[in-house]
Structure 1
Amino acid sequence: MDYIDYYKVLGIHKNASADEIKKAYRKLARKYHPDVNPNDKEAELKFKEVNEANEVLSHPENRKKYDSYGKDWKHAEEFEKAKKQQQRYQRAPGGGSQGFGGGFSGGDFSEFFESMFGGGATSGRTRSAVQFRGQDYNAEMHLNLKDVYKTHKQTLNVNGKNIRLTIPAGVKNEQVIKIKGYGGEGINGGPKGDLLIRFIIKNDTKFMRDNDNLLTTVELPLYTAVLGGDMIIDTFDGQVKLTVKPETQSNTKVKLKGKGFPVYKKEGKYGDLYITYHVKIPSGLTDHEKKLFKELAKLRPS
């Protein structure tokens, strides 16, 4: 495997913070996403490289291994075990110089790894090939809030392969879902990696989402606020009739139980809808209306 400078791929310096890595990844992922560049093989390769770079650098442990072992970062644990074995062998009586071919200087990790687990073994035993789990893939899926109100299916293209996914209702913004076995191929017959999907959910509705609850503001006519009455209001999945109490003040809050957002992976369970009333003062009053308001003002002086 050729060495890929993941810092260079994301256009960041080696001391970049986690936020800088995240920003660089999102910017490039949007730029090279297959949906933005259909049938563009070069953009597809760039998108794959950007995802690989983010997979390594956005995880502190992976980044540490990459900084230490370069292209062989996935085998860092094996290198460490091998070094410890070598040290124990050299300290043991008769260990001498015939163990693993001399001290480990940290030069070519691939050569060292091959000599330990591949065709260059120096002991009298034949070592079997070590299996390694495949690399995890990262992907982003952009949806609207309305899209995740109900469970539905979506097709996601990962490295040229279409994957049919069931998106559960109630998925949250920035939530990551793992699809087991849809990552990179394993090494020497090892298991495949996983696909990690991060959901970016855009809210273009008049409802604000607060976990499983929804918040909205309803304009209340002055006369209804004073005298009370029935109103038809919008919920996320339709309209309902709401009875307003007389003398309702502006900024009064009411709760409609079960009219919020679906609870993730809990079929049939919903949060609540919280409504804040905003009393609307009438405008464009006629002379007669103004006269009536003046008479009311005389009845109840401030």
Structure 2
Amino acid sequence: MEYIDYYKVLGVSKNASEKDIKKAYRKMARKYHPDVNPNDATAEKKFKEANEANEVLGDPEKRKKYDKYGKDWEHAEAFEQARQSRQHSRPSGGQQYSGDFGGHDFSDFFESMFGGAGGGGFSQGGQVKFRGQDFNAELRLSLRDAYQTQKQTLTVNGKNIRITIPAGIENGQTIKIKGHGGPGRNGGPKGDLYITFSIENNTPFKRDGSNLYKNIDLDIYTAVLGGEITVDTFDGKAKLKVKPETQNGTTVKLKGKGFPFYKKEGQFGDLLITYTLKTPTNLSAREKELFKELAAIKK
């Protein structure tokens, strides 16, 4: 298995914080998502690498193992078990092994020590336990589906798996369903199922994390004189007071009217409304005359 530097994949340093890793992953997921880059094999590869990197570096325990064992981090516990077993059974004076493998030569060391057994420990009969293969799947949801917690049934290798999808799931996000991958060998554990979500947005809202954005037209009369308007939110309507002399491109915030935070029930981001001033058309002769009078006054 080729060594992949997950830090390099996400473009972060080895001492990057969890927040930095999450931010870098979101940026890459948006950039290389298959919906944005259809039929682009290079983008698809980068998207998968970003998901893989986030799955490892985004989990403190996995990250710790990865920092020590590199590409063989999944076999860290098996290695420690096997090494201890080897040390207990080794005659005195035998060669001792210790140290940090830095993510590069662990596989070679494991193979030289146990004859190529890169699996997951030993059974009672002395056979090597092999962990089952991980499965990967993609699940498509609409943005409105992602707004609420969903329960869905997936069929994987002929088996139905009932899963709960928390509200606020993000486009490109991957979750792990433990023990629903391929079967292990010689009593080894099952692999896991990794589900990557593709969120299709067919709404007038733009999503960024838990915030929503929307542009709305504002007539020139309300912009100049002020007033009250009704706008559509993601799940209803809201009234907004427009200040007199509102400028084109003005943005106002509706607190708590955005998208739900992932796995934080009852917490929502904000909705940011940007005004686009709409110039009146098909003016009557009288309306044109009034605008001319107004223009003369302003000179």
Q: Output the TM-score relative to the length of structure 2.
A: 0.63
Distance 1:228 1:92, change over 3 A: closer
Amino acid at match of 1:260: G
Residue 257 (structure 2) pairs with residue 238 (structure 1): no
Provide the C-alpha distance between the structure 2 equivalents of 1:148 and 1:194, rounded to a whole number of angstroms: 23
Structure 1 unmatched ranges of 5 or more: 1-5, 8-17, 32-53, 66-72, 94-103, 119-125
For 1:73-131, what per-residue CA distance to the aligned partner results, in whole angstroms no more than 9, with x for missing partners?
989x76xx79xx69x88x959xxxxxxxxxx9xx9xx9865xxx99xxxxxxx943333
Deviation at 1:296, TM superposition (A): 0.7
Match of 1:170 in 2: 168
Residue 181 (structure 2) pairs with residue 183 (structure 1): yes
Amino acid at match of 1:275: I
Match of 2:144 in 1: 146
Provide the C-alpha distance between the structure 2 equivalents of 1:243 and 1:112, rounded to a whole number of angstroms: 71
Match of 2:223 in 1: 225
Aligned length: 241
Structure 2 unmatched ranges of 5 or more: 3-8, 11-28, 40-47, 57-65, 96-107
Residue 285 (structure 2) pairs with residue 282 (structure 1): no
Amino acid at match of 1:255: K
Provide the C-alpha distance between the structure 1 equivalents of 2:261 and 2:71, rounded to a whole number of angstroms: 37
2:200 to 164, 182, 202: 202
Match of 1:211 in 2: 209
2:259 to 258, 261, 270: 261
Amino acid at match of 1:289: E
Q: Output the TM-score relative to the length of structure 1.
A: 0.63
Provide the C-alpha distance between the structure 2 equivalents of 1:281 and 1:213, rounded to a whole number of angstroms: 29
Provide the C-alpha distance between the structure 2 equivalents of 1:265 and 1:280, rounded to a whole number of angstroms: 40
Distance 1:297 1:242, change over 3 A: same
Distance 1:127 1:298, change over 3 A: same
Match of 1:248 in 2: 246
Deviation at 1:269, TM superposition (A): 0.6
Provide the C-alpha distance between the structure 1 equivalents of 2:247 and 2:153, rounded to a whole number of angstroms: 48
Deviation at 1:229, TM superposition (A): 1.1
Deviation at 1:133, TM superposition (A): 2.6
Provide the C-alpha distance between the structure 1 equivalents of 2:128 and 2:255, rounded to a whole number of angstroms: 56
CA RMSD of aligned residues (A): 4.5
Match of 1:39 in 2: none
SS in 1 for 2:286: helix
Residue 291 (structure 2) pairs with residue 293 (structure 1): yes
SS in 2 for 1:241: strand
Deviation at 1:286, TM superposition (A): 1.2
Provide the C-alpha distance between the structure 2 equivalents of 1:275 and 1:154, rounded to a whole number of angstroms: 33
Structure whose CA Rg is larger: 1
* Superposition misfits of 4+ residues, deviation over 3 angstroms: 58-65, 110-113
Match of 1:40 in 2: none
Match of 2:126 in 1: 128
SS in 1 for 2:295: helix
Instruction: Indicate the percent of aligned positions where both proteins have the same amino acid.
Output: 53
Amino acid at match of 2:281: S
